[in-house]
């Protein structure tokens, strides 16, 4: 099908057609394309731009094309002797429509361009993907919350610089990821307001001379409104970029969690075991149990970063309005959506398989110096300036390190060698549990604050959510 044969004497060179065709990629948008076309043709009928009978015939033809595509009965490749040659999914659908219902199918494209058509398809795709991502984020949060409640009394070393910092509850550590994911949820949720705007009716760039009802089409598609400027409607891809940016941040959070699962399941750390269903072995080393799912999530993060940079680079130098470069927006969009969703899903499934080896956490805490800050705070409460207290406790830590013992091994007489301000109540502060229970600030690792956080998240994540496919 040569849509510009009136202007050109001949068709594209076969290699040029092959090079420029996006059908192998954008065929994935056929549902969105047909949804948009149905809304468009019904509007044309309401506005008396098309006869009602023609609109009905076109709508029936589009639904038949949809059924054929869903069933895989409509070949979208372009064979050398095929009945039509399509550059993209939009022309493939239109060509099949004309093949089915005759020249009436050619009326479908009245008052629109492929420029506003594809921009709409992409926004509908983003809305459906965003709704799915929101559900998958919630599923992962629920998995983390279940793990946190299961091990809510387990202590662990809290880390900075990958060194022991202060004792914390494992549940507090896991809740940190739930908080991160909730901000990710907020970014995707907030983006829907900007994505849910219809570009249809912008035409190629200048709008249409037909009396179309753009807002009516947007309402029919459950969108929040229209893009007001016809040039902007077809020439920007910030909706995709925002999705990619939110995906990159979410993947960063998943990668950090994956990294800790990899570290904690190693023999050197030995804090957890990941279930067999989410681990692999070695083709040569019989003893191996590798955290491959976590490693793959960590590795796939770079792909999503690349998707974002690829589209930013494509868009950065383009003059208004539409340029064919923008055809390259779909590969990163699809790849990021697929990668993020599969990563969220596998993490949500893997987390419940994690078994925490509680005694290993206890061993680490018994032999470390992570209650040092509590001893310094004790001296401050006794009137010593913090910097002086910091230095005193630093000497205590040095002494413990030389003796190769943890702070919990010190007796009162040992502490008083460094300061007579220490009394019997200071000894309890060398114990990790006492350190954790001493915390008083909101959002801290104290058992009371962690219990409140667990209850808050249990209430929040239990709320049902339901949405139209395109976010309405």
472, pLDDT greater than 50: no
In this structure, the answer to whether residues 282 and 151 fall within a common structural domain is: yes
Q: Residue 13 has what pLDDT?
A: 81
20, 24, 77, 282: the active-site residue: 282
In this structure, the answer to whether residues 166 and 241 fall within a common structural domain is: yes
Q: Residue 87 has what pLDDT?
A: 85
H or E segment at 103? none
In this structure, the answer to whether residues 60 and 36 fall within a common structural domain is: yes
Among residues 110, 141, 156, the one where a domain terminates is 110
Look at the chain and report how many structural domains it folds into. Answer: 2
In this structure, the answer to whether residues 52 and 176 fall within a common structural domain is: no
- Mean local confidence (pLDDT), 406-434: 90
Q: How far is CA 414 from the centre of its chain?
A: 52
In this structure, the answer to whether residues 53 and 195 fall within a common structural domain is: no
Q: What is the CA radius of gyration of the chain?
A: 30
Other CB atoms within a 10 A radius of the CB of residue 440 amount to 9
Could you confirm whether 161 is annotated as catalytic? yes
Among residues 312, 334, 363, the one where a domain terminates is 363
- End-to-end alpha carbon distance in the chain: 36
In this structure, the answer to whether residues 145 and 98 fall within a common structural domain is: no
Based on the number of CB atoms within 10 Å of its own CB, is 295 exposed (0-12), middle (13-18) or buried (19 or more)? Answer: middle
User: Where do the H-state alpha helices sit in 81-237?
Assistant: 89-101, 114-150, 170-195, 214-220, 230-235
Other CB atoms within a 10 A radius of the CB of residue 446 amount to 20
- Mean local confidence (pLDDT), 4-14: 67
Q: Report the C-alpha gap between 417 and 412 in whole angstroms.
A: 9
In this structure, the answer to whether residues 80 and 163 fall within a common structural domain is: no
Query: What confidence category does residue 79 fall into, taking pLDDT thresholds of 50, 70 and 90?
Result: very low
Could you report the per-residue pLDDT of 457-470, keeping only the tens digit for each?
999 997 444 444 55
In this structure, the answer to whether residues 196 and 148 fall within a common structural domain is: yes
Residue 372, domain member (yes or no): no
Q: Find the CATH number of the domain harbouring 94.
A: 1.10.275.10
Q: Report the C-alpha gap between 190 and 34 in whole angstroms.
A: 27
Q: Residue 282 has what pLDDT?
A: 82
Could you report the per-residue pLDDT of 357-398, keeping only the tens digit for each?
999 988 888 888 888 998 999 999 999 999 999 999 999 999
> Percentage of the chain surpassing pLDDT 70?
94
pTM of the model: 0.91
Among residues 110, 126, 148, the one where a domain terminates is 110
Q: Residue 463 has what pLDDT?
A: 47
Could you report the per-residue pLDDT of 315-365, keeping only the tens digit for each?
999 999 999 999 999 999 999 999 999 999 999 999 999 999 999 988 888
Q: Residue 77 has what pLDDT?
A: 54
The DSSP bridge partners found for residue 163 are 160
204, pLDDT greater than 90: yes
In this structure, the answer to whether residues 137 and 78 fall within a common structural domain is: no
In this structure, the answer to whether residues 122 and 156 fall within a common structural domain is: yes
Q: Going by DSSP bridges, is the β-strand pair 225-226/197-198 parallel, antiparallel, or unpaired?
A: parallel
Residue 188, domain member (yes or no): yes
Q: Residue 9 has what pLDDT?
A: 67
Q: Report the C-alpha gap between 193 and 190 in whole angstroms.
A: 6
What mean pLDDT is reported for the chain? 92
Q: Residue 4 has what pLDDT?
A: 53
Q: Residue 298 has what pLDDT?
A: 98
- Mean local confidence (pLDDT), 436-458: 96
In this structure, the answer to whether residues 83 and 132 fall within a common structural domain is: no
Q: Find the CATH number of the domain harbouring 163.
A: 1.20.200.10
Q: Report the C-alpha gap between 360 and 323 in whole angstroms.
A: 59
Residue 444, domain member (yes or no): no
Domain that includes residue 30, residue range: 14-110
In this structure, the answer to whether residues 275 and 199 fall within a common structural domain is: yes
238, pLDDT greater than 50: yes
Say which DSSP state 7 is in.
T
Q: Residue 118 has what pLDDT?
A: 97
User: Where do the H-state alpha helices sit in 221-291?
Assistant: 230-235, 238-264
Residue 471, domain member (yes or no): no
The DSSP bridge partners found for residue 273 are 355
Query: What confidence category does residue 6 fall into, taking pLDDT thresholds of 50, 70 and 90?
Result: low
Could you report the per-residue pLDDT of 209-224, keeping only the tens digit for each?
999 999 999 999 999 9
Sequence-distant (≥ 6) Cβ neighbours of residue 186 within 8 angstroms:
none
Residue 422, domain member (yes or no): no
Q: Which two tokens stand for residue 292?
A: 């491959």
Q: Residue 12 has what pLDDT?
A: 73
- 3-state class (DSSP) for residue 374: helix
Residue 454, domain member (yes or no): no
Q: With b meaning 16 or more CB within 10 Å and e meaning fewer, what string describes 394-410?
A: eebeebbeeeeebbbeb
- Mean local confidence (pLDDT), 50-71: 97
Q: Residue 288 has what pLDDT?
A: 84
Residue 44, domain member (yes or no): yes
Higher pLDDT, 3 or 258: 258
Q: Residue 7 has what pLDDT?
A: 63
13, 161, 209, 441: the active-site residue: 161
DSSP string, 393-427: HHHHHHHHHHHT--GGG--HHHHHTT-TT--HHHH
User: Where do the H-state alpha helices sit in 265-371?
Assistant: 292-315, 330-350, 358-366
Residue 425, domain member (yes or no): no
């Amino acid at each position: 099908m040569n849509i510009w044969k009136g202007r050109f004497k001949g068709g594209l060179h076969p290699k040029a057609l092959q090079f420029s065709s996006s059908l192998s990629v954008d065929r994935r948008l056929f549902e969105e394309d047909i949804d948009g076309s149905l809304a468009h043709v019904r509007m044309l009928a309401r506005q008396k731009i098309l006869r009602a009978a023609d609109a009905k015939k076109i709508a029936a033809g589009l639904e038949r094309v949809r059924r054929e595509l869903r069933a895989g009965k409509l070949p979208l490749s372009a064979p050398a002797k095929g009945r039509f040659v399509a550059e993209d999914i939009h022309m493939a659908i239109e060509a099949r429509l004309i093949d089915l219902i005759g020249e009436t199918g050619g009326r479908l494209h009245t008052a629109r361009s492929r420029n506003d058509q594809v921009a709409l398809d992409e926004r509908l795709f983003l809305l459906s993907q965003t709704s799915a991502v929101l559900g998958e984020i919630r599923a992962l949060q629920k998995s983390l919350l279940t793990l946190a409640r299961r091990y809510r009394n387990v202590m662990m070393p809290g880390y900075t610089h990958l060194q022991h910092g202060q004792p914390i509850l494992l549940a507090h550590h896991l809740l940190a990821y739930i908080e991160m994911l909730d901000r990710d949820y907020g970014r995707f949720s907030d983006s829907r307001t900007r994505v849910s705007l219809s570009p249809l009716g912008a035409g190629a760039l200048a709008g249409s001379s037909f009396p179309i009802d753009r807002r009516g089409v947007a309402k029919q598609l459950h969108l929040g409104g229209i893009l007001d400027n016809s040039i902007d409607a077809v020439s920007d891809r910030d909706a995709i970029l925002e999705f990619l940016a939110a995906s990159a941040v979410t993947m960063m959070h998943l990668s950090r969690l994956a990294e800790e699962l990899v570290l904690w399941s190693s023999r050197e750390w030995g804090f957890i075991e990941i279930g067999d269903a989410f681990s692999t072995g070695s083709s040569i080393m019989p003893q191996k149990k590798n955290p491959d799912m976590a490693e793959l999530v960590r590795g796939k993060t770079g792909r999503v970063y690349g998707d974002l940079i690829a589209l930013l680079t494509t868009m950065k130098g383009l003059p208004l309005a539409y340029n064919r470069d923008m055809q390259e927006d779909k590969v990163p969009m699809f790849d990021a959506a697929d990668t993020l969703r599969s990563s969220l899903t596998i993490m949500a499934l893997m987390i419940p398989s994690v078994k925490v080896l509680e005694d290993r956490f206890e061993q680490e805490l018994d032999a470390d110096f992570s209650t040092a800050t509590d001893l310094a705070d004790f001296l401050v409460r006794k009137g010593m300036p913090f910097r002086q207290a910091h230095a005193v406790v630093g000497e205590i830590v040095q002494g413990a390190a030389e003796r190769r013992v943890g702070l919990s091994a010190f007796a009162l007489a040992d502490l008083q060698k460094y300061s007579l301000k220490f009394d019997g109540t200071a000894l309890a502060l060398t114990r990790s549990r006492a350190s954790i229970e001493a915390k008083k600030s909101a959002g801290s690792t104290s058992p009371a604050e962690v219990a409140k956080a667990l209850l808050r998240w249990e209430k929040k994540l239990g709320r049902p959510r339901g949405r139209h496919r395109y976010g309405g």
